[in-house]
Amino acid sequence: MIAEFRVLTFITFFPLVGMLATAFVPRQQVRWIRAITVGVTLVQLALAIYIWANFNGSLAGINDPKSFQFVERLPWIRLSGLGVFGNLTIDYFMGLDGLSVTMVLLTAIIAAVGAIASFSIQRNIKGYFLMYLLLDIGIMGTFCALDFFLFYIFWELMLLPMYFLIGIWGGARREYAAMKFFLYTLLGSIFMLLVMIGLYFSNEVMLLIPGTHEVLRNPMTHRPELYHTFSMLRMMDPRAFVAGSIFSGAGTAWRYAGFFGLFFAFAVKIPMVPFHTWLPDAHVEAPTAISVILAGVLLKMGAYGILRLSLGIFPEIAVALSWYMAMFGFINIVYGALCAMAQSDFKRLIAYSSISHMGYVLLGIASLNAQGMLGAVFQMFNHGIVTAMLFLLVGVLYDRTQTRGVLEFGGLANQMPRYFALVVIAFFAALGLPAFSMFLSEAFVFLGSFQTWQTWTIASAVGMILTAAYFLLTLQRMFFGTVPERWNQLTDVTPRELVSLVPLAAIVIAVGIYPGPIVDLMTTSVNALVSIVHTNAPLTKAALLP
Amino acid sequence: MPSPVHSLSEIARAAQGYAAFSVNGFIPELVLVAGFLLAVLLDAVTRRTSRKTFCVFFGIAVLALAGIFSWTEWRPFTPDWQGGYFIFPYSQTLFAPIAHNRVLDRGYAMAVVDNFSVFFKLLASLAGIFVLLMSLVSKELRERSWRLGEYTSLVLGMTVGLYLMPASLDLVTIYLSIELVSIAGYILAGFSRETDYGAEASLKYILFGALASGLMLYGFSLFYGLTGTTNLIAIRQILALNPATHTGMNMYLLWTATILALVGMAYKISAVPFHFWTPDVYHGAPLPVTAFLSVASKAAGFGVLIRFLLFAFPTSREGAPLLDWQTALAVLAVLTMTFGNLAALLQSNVRRMLAYSTIAHAGYMLAALAAGPVAFSRSSNFGGVVAILIYLVTYLFTQLGAFYAVMLIENKIGSEEIDDYRGLAGRSPLAASALVLFLISLTGIPLTAGFIGKFYVLTAVLTPDAITHTYPWMWLGVAVILNSVLSLYYYLRVAAAMFLKRPLREMALAADAGSGIPETFLREEGGRTRIRYSIPAIVLLFGLAVPTVALGVYFKPLVDFASGVIRFFNF
């Protein structure tokens, strides 16, 4: 690893360069504006591939700062001396482990694909790409941050651009959808803010003077000073909590409250039924590229948050409540699938299928064993790719016909053969056919969760049948039979659309056949997370479970 | 319970930190008074209307000078730190019927110069400078530019009061300074008195102000009746040492006195239920005046409130806790923020919406004050005070910025209705983006100053009690965050109108299809006049927007500065 090359800073903030460049391009120079964004996202993709190639899959990370990779740590804000709220340290602390490296890779892929798909945006192009790049910074930063404060800032940073991207460039009910998205997400994340403040009061560390092994001391009393820290890794150590602080101990009422606060923020994002109602609106109203980003990456931030923060910081609560988590996983899978079945709007159907597929992630996390959790992380990656493809395909059709009604089409298989081939790949991957990537992750999830929660796993299997049903039904309605008169002139997929679709299809198949390169990234970290949860949780498990 | 002697020495030691000073501690105020007189003179000698702007620049210079003089009184924290200076000391035998003069021989003064008051003086100067700069751009004031000299002198006169309010150590000074601010405020609020709204603003402000100050004065008189003194430190001392002042029926009297005294201050910070004047005055007054009232006057109100509550009431360290003013304040805080936000939801006028939102912001700060000081624990924790100071600074830039952006837009389109803001982003991207930035900062989204303010308010609310390690104010924290989400809704409505919606005129045109209007005219870019602003106007906009972002990214200097106030009176 090259110590001097701050690859995470670069990959996160490189869009800022693009934003500056875009700001100086006249608004008429549409080609340049598009080229800048595509260029920036391609550089990000190259960096992500560099990270992927140099990532050492045998290092665990999770709560051990030494086994994180590409670490950057600089003090950002240090307050000391006056002791109003105690001393405080906020670090610019970035690093990757198996959980985040897959997400960074996914983000880079989806951002590049989304940038190409954004070519169909026709009005106020400059503003659009500025917002797009800002969104990109927020997402990438969220996955790289290891300091809770930093994480929170990145997490909130993407709200505003997302609001405008849906609200300005969205469909007919865009204002309503954008407002709903913003309010819902803020409601979730503001509880996270409360928990974050509680956590920082609960943690204290001694700091070293940079470059030495000397402890930072109070300039007046010359005693070593304790700093409240936002370091997530520190928060995961149950012994690090200050005695008598709000989140100290195990299984206390405050810790339950803290867990619920964090979990709510992430559950809104996943989205977990019953907090899912923003998603169909946002997805349907957003322009294609933004739907791709929303479904492909943003939903994963919720699941990532649960894995990184909820499980790590409140392991005993997560263990105690995992039965409920599995139940909600089941509800997501089946409810999402049932809703998808009832939709006649193509895009809304895909949106509900996302809810269903994210249920597998919840179920996998709730299993609390290596197979299930691995399945969950793998499912996050696979769903990101597959759902991005699905939304792109919806967009292809919508661009040509200005309608998304499933029942308005028929016989498109002959009309648009290349389109049909891509749809078949995406649909079969989404319904979990073997040899496609999602089969593997769903199999892992079931394998893991069957050991822990048999009932919910068996019940969830219904969801797989429902998923197959609605995808096949849709395929039949749209692609077989006769072509309605008015769609006789539809053109097939253009080269530009192929550029974004074919790589995704290739990934879906390649990972489905040979999952090694992706799975190897995360295995060690997932194992470590499982063992951390289980070693930290039994402290009070006996007292919690009847 | 600690012995009286012990508590007596506590108070004495605290007061020892302060050295007695006289007029030399009063230089910033004297500068302002001189400036005020000169401004009146200047106004009289400048005949030509075009020269009147010079008066405004003169006012800015005076405010800056006073600010610099105040700055020299800032004492950074050192081991041999002195609390501050008493100014205008007087003999306690004049007022104190109970002889404690052997203990406290220097605590009796009209006002005090300490970091706390210096902080508020700097805040008042800064706000005044920004407001005078805004006034130069304001169309409302430019239309009356022959009165700009008068206007400047009134702002300077008000600033004298703003300087004195947080520095007051005596009920008499508190009353006088509040009145000074109010009377200047009444005239300023009615500056555009020819308009209906202007006249209404001034009248409402006077009527409510008169009522509030009357009630406050009555409360002060009850305090004098109870304790025999008007000095805050002496009141504290007597309340701590003489149980007769707060036992039996006198407890009710003390509550009555406290509540009545708080009315005047609640009126200044526009806390519910003393807020009724706020929307009408903010709506009717010229926008720079509104901005000044909502930022500087509110800040000084908080200064005097903090000074009064933390100085006049003993903590448990000095004897039994007297009043549970914290819980009372917490309830008031929740009422204030919830009412402010709910009322703001219903507004169709941006300025009225902002007026109600300032009520909500007073609620957030009250929450910090209620929860922060932990008056009943042994180790006094001034987290709440520091949080308010941080909040006030972030609020200064953000709220002034929001009002300024609204003013710039009003100058050009002549309206403050949200419906008239439709499609503004296309015509005036700069002002629209800046307004969104300020509104986002008011909501408290990260990377803006408002987030730091809210973060510290929440931190103060969630600070554990030092002794019991409990979190008695968690419900207050939840109230604050739920209110933040509520506020996002109406702030976003403005953003949505500017960025998401098409102008009504254009929609009307589009509906009238076939009228021969070219298609390009109806598109997003075409057919619209771009709004242009003068360079100084844009510079001022950046002057407010840059700190709003900068404080959100790097807030260490601000927190360090505000924390420097922490031991403002060594208790």
Q: Is the pTM of this model over 0.95?
A: no
Q: How far apart are CA B264 and CA B303, in angstroms?
A: 13
Note whether residue B186 is domain-resident. Answer: no
What tokens were used for A239?
Answer: 């012994």
For residues B212 and B182, the answer to whether their CB atoms sit within 8 Å is: no
Rounded to whole angstroms, how far apart are CA atoms A183 and B493?
12
Of A193, A327, A318, residue with least CA distance to A251: A318
Is residue B84 a contact partner of residue B566, using CB atoms and an 8 Å limit? no
Whether B143 has its CB under 8 Å from any CB of chain A: the answer is no
B259 pLDDT band, cuts 50/70/90, is: very high
pLDDT of A81 reads: 53
- 3-class DSSP assignment, residue A64: coil
Q: Is the dihedral of CA B196, B199, B204, B205 positive or negative?
A: positive
**Domain assignment present for B322:** no
Q: Which amino acid is at A198?
A: G
Question: Across-strand partners of A45?
Answer: none
pLDDT along chain A (546 residues), means of 10: 74 94 90 94 95 89 86 85 69 92 95 93 90 95 94 93 93 90 92 91 78 72 79 84 79 89 94 92 92 93 94 90 93 95 92 94 93 94 95 92 87 88 94 91 93 92 92 91 83 90 94 91 92 76 43
Q: B343 lies in a domain?
A: yes
Query: Which residues in chain A have their CB less than 8 angstroms from residue B524's CB?
Result: 123-124
Alpha helical stretches, state H, B428-570: 429-443, 449-462, 474-495, 504-511, 519-522, 535-553, 556-563
Answer yes or no: is B431 within a domain.
Answer: yes
Q: Which residues sit opposite B84 in a β-bridge?
A: B18, B114
CB A194 to CB B478 under 8 A? yes
Compute the average pLDDT of residues B430-436: 94
Candidates A190, A254, A264, partner chain B, best to mutate (most B CBs within 10 A): A190
Chain-chain contact of B445 with A160 (C-beta, under 8 angstroms): yes
Cβ contacts of B463 on chain A, cutoff 8 Å: 85, 201
Q: How many helices (H) and strands (E) does chain A have?
A: 24, 4
| Structure confidence at residue A101 (pLDDT) | 94
Give me the sheet containing B109-114, strands edge to edge: B18-21, B84-89, B109-114
Would the pLDDT of B102 be above 80? no
Please tell me the predicted confidence (pLDDT) of residue B103.
38
* List of chain A residues whose C-beta atoms are within 8 Å of the C-beta of residue B496: 167, 175, 178-179
Q: How many domains does chain B have?
A: 1
Q: What distance in Å separates the CA atoms of residue B480 and residue B384, rounded to the nearest whole number?
A: 14
Q: Does B441 touch chain A (CB under 8 A)?
A: no
- What strands lie across the sheet with A87-96, from one edge to the other? A69-79, A87-96, A226-229, A204-206
| CA dist., res. A105 & res. A446, Å (int) | 25
| Residue from the list A179, A198, A220 with its beta carbon closest to the beta carbon of B492 | A179
Residue B505 binned pLDDT confidence (cut-offs 50, 70, 90): low
Output the pLDDT for position B21: 57
| Token pair recorded at residue B291 | 């901005």
Show Cβ contacts of residue B565 under 8 Å, excluding neighbours closer than 6 positions. Answer: B115, B116, B119, B385, B386, B389
DSSP A248-303: -SSS-HHHHHHHHHHHHHHHHHTTPTTS-THHHHHHHHS-HHHHHHIIIIIHHHHH
Helix or strand or coil: residue B147? helix
Within-domain flag for B347:
yes
The model's pLDDT over B510-550, given as tens digits with 9 standing for 90+, comes to 555 554 444 444 444 444 578 889 999 999 999 999 999 99
**What totals of helices (H) and strands (E) does chain B contain, helices first?**
24, 3
Structure tokens that stand for B350 in this block: 């941006």
Query: Does any CB of chain B come closer than 8 Å to the CB of residue A16?
Result: no
Residue with tokens 């260029």: A39
B499 near A CB under 8 A: yes
A480 touches B at CB < 8 Å: no
- Minimal Cβ distance to B485: which of A124, A174, A190: A190
In chain B, residues 70-109 whose CB comes closer than 8 Å to chain A = 77, 79
Please answer yes or no on whether B458 and A174 come within 8 Å at the CB atom.
no
pLDDT of residue B78: 58
What pLDDT, on a 0 to 100 scale, did the predictor assign at position B287? 93
Greatest CA separation found in chain A?
A: 86
A193–chain B Cβ distance below 8 A for any pair: yes
| CA dist., res. B206 & res. B183, Å (int) | 8
Q: What are the tokens at A92?
A: 């610019």
Every domain of chain A and the residues it spans: 324-513
Q: How far is A129 from chain B (nearest CA, A)?
A: 15
Helices A437-452 and A417-430, interaxial angle, to 10°?
10
Q: Where are the alpha helices (DSSP H) in A494-537?
A: 495-513, 516-536
Distance set, CA B310 to CA A106, B313, B331 (Å): 55, 6, 18
| A245 interface with B at CB cutoff 8 Å | yes
Percentage of chain B lying above the pLDDT 90 cut: 50
Q: Do the beta carbons of residue A500 and residue A392 sit within 8 Å? A: yes
Which chain B residues contact residue A178 at CB under 8 A? 496, 500
Output the furthest CA–CA distance in chain B (Å, rounded): 93
Measured CA distances, A472 to A124, A468, B310 (Å): 38, 6, 71
What pLDDT score was predicted for residue A546?
A: 38
B159 alpha carbon, distance to own chain's centre: 12
Nearest partner of B17 among B81, B78, B102, judged by Cα: B81
**Cβ pair B464:A201 closer than 8 A:** yes
Instruction: Give the model's pLDDT for residue B20.
Output: 53
| Torsion angle defined by CA atoms of residues A33, A35, A40 and A42, in that order, rounded to the nearest 10 degrees | 160
How far is the first Cα of chain A from the last one, in angstroms, to the nearest whole number? 49
Confirm or reject contact between B477 and chain A (CB < 8 A): yes
Q: Are strands A87-96 and A226-229 parallel, antiparallel or unpaired?
A: parallel
Cβ of residue B560 closer than 8 Å to a chain A Cβ: yes
Can you give the pLDDT at residue B6?
A: 41
| Residue A366 to residue B33: CA distance in whole angstroms | 70
Q: Which residues of chain A make contact with B560, given a CB cutoff of 8 A?
A: 79, 82
Residue B104: per-residue pLDDT: 46
By CB neighbour count within 10 A (0-12 exposed, 13-18 middle, 19+ buried), where does A223 fall? Answer: exposed
CA dist., res. B222 & res. B230, Å (int)? 10
Q: Is B501 on the interface with A (CB under 8 A)?
A: yes
CB-based contact B77 A81, cutoff 8 Å = yes
The interface predicted TM-score (ipTM) is: 0.92
Domain housing B465: 331-571
Closest CA to A380 of A278, A308, A319: A308
Nearest CB among B469, B482, B564 relative to A244 is that of B469
- The average pLDDT across B184-213 equals 90
Pairing of strands B109-114, A226-229: unpaired
Residue in A5, A543, A96, A41 with CA at minimum distance from that of residue A292:
A41
pLDDT at position A216 is 75
Contact B458 A194 (CB under 8 A): yes
Q: Nearest-CA distance from B427 to chain A in Å?
A: 13
Window 148-167 of A, Cβ < 8 Å to B: 152-153, 156-157, 159-160, 163-164, 167
Token look-up 């109010």 returns B182
Helix (H) or strand (E) holding B411: helix B383-413
B322-335 pLDDT, tens digit each: 677 888 889 999 99
Does A77 sit within 8 Å of B554, measured CB to CB? Answer: yes
Residue A482 to residue A484: CA distance in whole angstroms: 6
Closest CA of chain A from B459, distance in Å: 6
> How near does any CA of chain A get to the CA of B455, in Å?
8
Place of tokens 């910025």: B401
Q: Residue B20 pairs with which residues in a beta bridge?
A: B86
Helix (H) or strand (E) holding B60: helix B53-71
- Asked if A182 has any chain B CB less than 8 Å from its own CB, the reply is yes
B393 found inside a domain: yes
CA B155, B160, B165, B166 torsion-angle sign: positive
Label residue B49 by pLDDT band (50, 70, 90).
confident
Residues of A in contact with B482 (CB under 8 A): 190
* Closest chain B residue by Cα to residue A202: B464
End-to-end CA distance of chain B: 18
Q: In 3-state terms, chain B is what percent helix, strand and coil (to 5)?
A: 70, 5, 25
Q: What is the mean pLDDT of chain B?
A: 83
In a domain, B193, yes or no: no
Q: Is residue B526 domain-resident?
A: yes
- B549 at A interface, C-beta within 8 A: no
Residue-level pLDDT at B566? 64
8 Å CB contact of A190 and B560: no
Tell me the residues of chain A between 110 and 129 that have a Cβ less than 8 Å away from chain B. 123-124
For the cut 60, the answer to whether the pLDDT of residue B96 exceeds it is no
CB < 8 Å to A76, chain B: 554
